[in-house]
Chains A and B, each alone.
Chain A
């Protein structure tokens, strides 16, 4: 079931944009305070970027387990209507409430029904059904889903007939909806630049060689779900002996993102320690600008990493590129002497440049609906407000939700309670 159309009957609701950790916690908090929520997520599932992580710091617990239980609560809550495959085009206000323009991309194959049995692929005469989404390299945590390659599909419909569960609807069209809401909480999170994106400065070489990985690519590459055998380079299957982590690539850089994304130091430390635990003989170097570990238990986590034999180098490499003799070459100033040196690694992980997702109203090419700069009742939570890790996003999501509830109370005349049992004065 993609969407329950009855949700349109209810006008008095808050729109939460983004189904990551911050958005889910905002939605759950609102629901617990008896407010209906419309939770809009552009991907096929709730969970956001955290679902792409193998582990979360500082506990090194499984990211999926924790996030998915929160997602289940959202799916199961009677007051939360989850709209997947949906994006917000823009907001307009008429003084009273907010009209949100949404677009729903109906997938040709409903992922909640697909069994991945392959019957559609066998039925298709054009080989248009793919087993794997080439853009999704990180889905070991979620069940696999078949997918239609629209370049090859001619719409003959044989796959839809072959599907035993009726998951395929080739006539599915995108839909636009206009939904009235009282408040909006943006929790759109962050996006990592794609390899080769100029937001990772070109000198860091992402996308130029398979052994130069972005942090999120690396997270998928080292995922425990792929097995725990010896580590081999993505390029040629050579065994890995030396790994470099490069921090602040494109961040704290006036040309790209001027700010610190706050989560990358601990994220890289987590990845490096995990590698070291898998293969204690690995030589791991971590290049940093400032090693920032301000949260609960984080300094201790860093110290444990240093004690495990990670090389911590206060230096920002000026060049990362494929070396002629094989491997990945890094050129950096030695922290002790300041002299530039070159060093060859088997693998380089480029960390940084996590950008805040642009909000719909400021996105170029969005529809021209007028939208005042900050209409009443529009709030931001999580990374899209201020770079935050999982714990920070949980806190911010709940705090913004309660702010929205209080605003609604004041707008409704003030002083009324969300909980009739607890306020005898409400009667």
Chain B
């Protein structure tokens, strides 16, 4: 169906271009609908919602002002009123109506000339729509839904938010239980809530769960994402509109730090957390806690091989120090740190609370200088003093290593399959700082510790934000940055000229050019950014950007009526 939405611009254009005359000048199968102000969303939606049949492919031309005036906004309003339609702009205000600036009476012959010119502009716009490759997406946006990979707090928050926004969601995790790393924790900083309460506040209702199910591969095909999911020994492909990566990270283990293999009493913060949770729940007695704890920060972090601050280890140590003090006030807790990373209001309060509770914080310049005394089990920690005096001795029964989170190989591999960048450590790279949850692949959004170590609170916030971005992408079928609509289509391949040499497939920076069935090269319209690299490398001049000036077909469309008249 062809529809022309005529913006009368609050009466600014209708004097020169009466609606009836314009409708008569257009082809009979083009329906003309007039709107007072196409660039005002509410009035536009109200006038159009009832007049457009549902479920039909509609070609819509907005007959409005120029793209450099408010034409772009007019298209944005139309896009929100008619999300499925294919849109084009015809500038009949500056380009036609306002050229008839006679000041007074318009001569009848001039008026009909203007109407004919406007009709020609509208016809050209319809021809542009026909020249465009039909959209590859064979289904309505949102029909396939969103796949969230990883059921930690970030993934759960993203999935439950998408359910609230009315989109179909599938949540996949290789573990049989949702919760991720947070499922192993007791209390959470900075508000000291129970992890299970926080996870329970992210409901699973309405989510299609694929637990115990590994995501083998992710790829883009025909405008949608295809995920290969493996459950047991069965592989199955499923299709999605958008993806959210919430694959998380894994804690580094203390390993051989401070001779942990030979000595007893060297544990990680995760192990301490498990013990503390058991004592808090009454499953163990508080006597199980040691009398003297020494926490050492930045074990295996901010080092030569892991040159980053994992951001969550300092707050975790302070949280656990406070929990020890609450359960058994007579216990000594000393936190040996290079510096305490507790940014923000809530964390600073937690830090102050720990100091008030009697937790000691000791600063050292280098971790390499720390030595541990004791043959079979930890007896004391020796810190080098400044100015070459005596070493400082901290008696300890248990040494707790605060280790960072590191990215998993699986999450980095999935990211790379999608064309996302990962840094040398394996964290997935977003567009810092202005679009941190968006990577290099369209329709893929990042949240949680797979992009950078995040607390549960941050992971939930990021999951919600990623869900909003995914919902937005599914609606628009493109990245939010491109929201100011481009009236021009993607690059295309002239089939008769193409020799299928594959240079454009190699060269395209956005992965839009690809081989399809029968060795034919096609350009995925949803991925094309109109950069022109394909046209530049093509030896046959088959890859082309849409022309900036009217194409011969557009010009022919404009002069068709006069040609027919002269022929008859």
Asked whether any CB of chain B lies closer than 8 Å to the CB of A406, the reply is yes
Take A76-B72, A422-B143, A422-B166 as given contacts and tell me if A260 and B348 are in contact as well, using a CB distance cutoff of 8 Å.
yes
In the bound complex, what is the Cα–Cα distance between A299 and B39 (angstroms)? 47
Tell me the residues in window 47-79 of chain A with beta carbons closer than 8 Å to chain B beta carbons: 56-59, 66-67, 69-70, 72-73, 76-79
In the bound complex, what is the Cα–Cα distance between A59 and B435 (angstroms)? 12
Contacts of B387 in A (CB 8 A): 336-337
Q: Is the CB of B452 within 8 A of A29?
A: no
Q: Is the CB of B451 within 8 A of A79?
A: no
Across chains A and B, which 9 residue pairs bring their CB atoms closest together, nearest first? A417-B166, A422-B142, A294-B311, A262-B343, A78-B41, A398-B465, A290-B339, A32-B472, A391-B433
The answer, among B310, B349, B432, for a CB contact under 8 Å with A59, is B432
Q: Is the CB of B311 within 8 A of A297?
A: no
Contacts of B311 in A (CB 8 A): 294-295
Residue of B nearest to A4 (CB): B40
Stretch from A96-104, A115-123, A213-221, A382-390 forming part of the interface with B: A382-390
Tell me the residues in window 13-41 of chain A with beta carbons closer than 8 Å to chain B beta carbons: 21, 28-29, 32-34, 36
Contacts of A325 in B (CB 8 A): none
Tell me the residues in window 157-194 of chain A with beta carbons closer than 8 Å to chain B beta carbons: none
Asked whether any CB of chain A lies closer than 8 Å to the CB of B73, the reply is yes
Contacts of A337 in B (CB 8 A): 386-387
Most buried by B among A72, A259, A314: A259
Take A78-B73, A292-B339, A294-B343 as given contacts and tell me if A395 and B462 are in contact as well, using a CB distance cutoff of 8 Å.
yes
Distance to closest chain B CB from A423 (angstroms) = 4
Q: Is the CB of A76 within 8 A of B165?
A: no
Distance to closest chain A CB from B246 (angstroms) = 14
Distance to closest chain A CB from B311 (angstroms) = 3
Residue of A nearest to B452 (CB): A296
Q: Is the CB of B166 within 8 A of A419?
A: yes
Q: Is the CB of A291 within 8 A of B339?
A: yes
Tell me the residues in window 111-160 of chain B with beta carbons closer than 8 Å to chain A beta carbons: 140-143
The answer, among B464, B483, B484, for a CB contact under 8 Å with A402, is B464
Contacts of A58 in B (CB 8 A): 432-433
Asked whether any CB of chain A lies closer than 8 Å to the CB of B467, the reply is yes
Q: Is the CB of A259 within 8 A of B432?
A: no
The answer, among A69, A388, A389, A395, for a CB contact under 8 Å with B465, is A395
Distance to closest chain A CB from B263 (angstroms) = 30
Contacts of B42 in A (CB 8 A): 9-10, 36
Asked whether any CB of chain B lies closer than 8 Å to the CB of A298, the reply is yes
Q: Is the CB of A399 within 8 A of B465?
A: yes
In the bound complex, what is the Cα–Cα distance between A33 and B347 (angstroms)? 33
Stretch from B76-84, B288-296, B366-374, B493-501 forming part of the interface with A: B76-84
Q: Is the CB of A59 within 8 A of B433?
A: yes
Q: List 6 A-B contacts (CB under 8 A).
A: A10-B42, A21-B434, A78-B76, A296-B427, A394-B465, A402-B467
Asked whether any CB of chain B lies closer than 8 Å to the CB of A258, the reply is yes
Q: How large is the interface on A (under 10, 10 to 19, 20 to 34, 35 or more residues)?
A: 35 or more
Tell me the residues in window 41-100 of chain B with beta carbons closer than 8 Å to chain A beta carbons: 41-42, 44, 72-73, 76-77, 80, 83-84
Distance to closest chain B CB from A93 (angstroms) = 24
In the bound complex, what is the Cα–Cα distance between A67 and B435 (angstroms)? 11
Q: Is the CB of A394 within 8 A of B435?
A: yes
Q: Is the CB of B302 within 8 A of A32?
A: no
The answer, among B72, B308, B476, B483, for a CB contact under 8 Å with A299, is B308
In the bound complex, what is the Cα–Cα distance between A294 and B308 (angstroms)? 8
Distance to closest chain B CB from A292 (angstroms) = 5
Q: Is the CB of B464 within 8 A of A399?
A: yes
Tell me the residues in window 225-272 of chain B with beta carbons closer than 8 Å to chain A beta carbons: none
Residue of A nearest to B84 (CB): A421
Asked whether any CB of chain A lies closer than 8 Å to the CB of B436, the reply is yes
Interface residues, chain A, CB within 8 Å of chain B?
Answer: 6, 9-10, 21, 28-29, 32-34, 36, 56-59, 66-67, 69-70, 72-73, 76-79, 252, 258-262, 290-300, 303, 314, 336-338, 386-391, 394-399, 401-403, 405-406, 409, 415-419, 421-423, 426
Take A33-B472, A398-B468 as given contacts and tell me if A292 and B484 are in contact as well, using a CB distance cutoff of 8 Å.
no
In the bound complex, what is the Cα–Cα distance between A314 and B341 (angstroms)? 14
- Other A-B pairs beyond A390-B433, A405-B165, A419-B474, 18, CB < 8 Å: A29-B468, A56-B433, A59-B432, A77-B76, A78-B40, A78-B41, A259-B348, A290-B340, A290-B341, A293-B309, A293-B341, A389-B433, A391-B436, A394-B465, A396-B465, A418-B166, A422-B166, A422-B168
Asked whether any CB of chain A lies closer than 8 Å to the CB of B345, the reply is yes
Distance to closest chain B CB from A360 (angstroms) = 20
Asked whether any CB of chain A lies closer than 8 Å to the CB of B469, the reply is yes
The answer, among A6, A262, A298, A416, for a CB contact under 8 Å with B344, is A262
Most buried by B among A59, A299, A402, A426: A402
In the bound complex, what is the Cα–Cα distance between A66 and B432 (angstroms)? 11
In the bound complex, what is the Cα–Cα distance between A396 and B454 (angstroms)? 14
Q: Is the CB of A33 within 8 A of B468?
A: yes
Distance to closest chain B CB from A90 (angstroms) = 24
Asked whether any CB of chain A lies closer than 8 Å to the CB of B13, the reply is no
Residue of A nearest to B472 (CB): A32
Q: Is the CB of B469 within 8 A of A422?
A: no
In the bound complex, what is the Cα–Cα distance between A252 and B344 (angstroms)? 10
In the bound complex, what is the Cα–Cα distance between A77 and B80 (angstroms)? 11
In the bound complex, what is the Cα–Cα distance between A293 and B165 (angstroms)? 35
Residue of A nearest to B339 (CB): A290
Q: Is the CB of B484 within 8 A of A76?
A: yes
Take A295-B311, A299-B308, A386-B345 as given contacts and tell me if A398 and B434 are in contact as well, using a CB distance cutoff of 8 Å.
no
In the bound complex, what is the Cα–Cα distance between A70 and B73 (angstroms)? 15
Q: Is the CB of A299 within 8 A of B309?
A: yes
Residue of A nearest to B424 (CB): A300
Distance to closest chain B CB from A380 (angstroms) = 12
In the bound complex, what is the Cα–Cα distance between A339 and B451 (angstroms)? 43
Contacts of A297 in B (CB 8 A): 423, 432
Asked whether any CB of chain A lies closer than 8 Å to the CB of B218, the reply is no
Asked whether any CB of chain A lies closer than 8 Å to the CB of B481, the reply is yes
Contacts of A417 in B (CB 8 A): 165-167
Take A28-B480, A72-B484, A292-B339 as given contacts and tell me if A401 and B468 are in contact as well, using a CB distance cutoff of 8 Å.
yes
Residue of A nearest to B301 (CB): A299
In the bound complex, what is the Cα–Cα distance between A413 and B296 (angstroms)? 51
Q: Is the CB of B352 within 8 A of A258?
A: yes
The answer, among A36, A260, A409, A422, for a CB contact under 8 Å with B343, is A260
In the bound complex, what is the Cα–Cα distance between A261 and B77 (angstroms)? 40
Asked whether any CB of chain A lies closer than 8 Å to the CB of B389, the reply is no
Q: Is the CB of B467 within 8 A of A416?
A: no
Q: Is the CB of B40 within 8 A of A303?
A: no
In the bound complex, what is the Cα–Cα distance between A314 and B84 (angstroms)? 59
Contacts of A77 in B (CB 8 A): 76, 483
Residue of B nearest to A297 (CB): B432
Asked whether any CB of chain A lies closer than 8 Å to the CB of B282, the reply is no
Contacts of A405 in B (CB 8 A): 164-165
Distance to closest chain A CB from B280 (angstroms) = 26
Q: Is the CB of A29 within 8 A of B349?
A: no
Q: Is the CB of B432 within 8 A of A32?
A: no
Q: Is the CB of B41 within 8 A of A79?
A: yes
Q: Is the CB of B341 within 8 A of A292?
A: yes
Residue of A nearest to B42 (CB): A10
Distance to closest chain A CB from B464 (angstroms) = 4
In the bound complex, what is the Cα–Cα distance between A292 and B73 (angstroms)? 43
In the bound complex, what is the Cα–Cα distance between A304 and B451 (angstroms)? 21
Q: Is the CB of A394 within 8 A of B436?
A: yes
The answer, among A33, A57, A259, A314, for a CB contact under 8 Å with B349, is A259
